[in-house]
Amino acid sequence: MNSFSYQTSGVCSRSIDVKLDGDVIESVVFHGGCSGNTQGVAALVKGMKVEDAIERLSGIQCGFKGTSCPDQLARALKEHLQNL
């Protein structure tokens, strides 16, 4: 099991905690943000392969922010992969 935290930028959530089992997402917890939406994203990616989540979530925007909580999760996962 591999766990890490990611400090978000440009969104309402402050950070994201992620637990992985190999290349599969075990759990995601957003701190702050729109509770229903972030819980929904976390539930949808549970059991998903990291690469699939990155592909599906990258580039999603929230209004005119240029990013979103799902996009920040994709960025967190990409950064984690680069640091392995």
* pLDDT tens-digit readout, 28-63: 999 999 999 999 999 999 999 999 999 999 999 999
Alpha-carbon span 84 to 69, nearest angstrom: 23
pTM above threshold 0.85: yes
How many domains does one find in the chain? Answer: 1
- Segments forming the whole domain that contains residue 44: 2-82
CATH of the domain at 13: 3.30.390
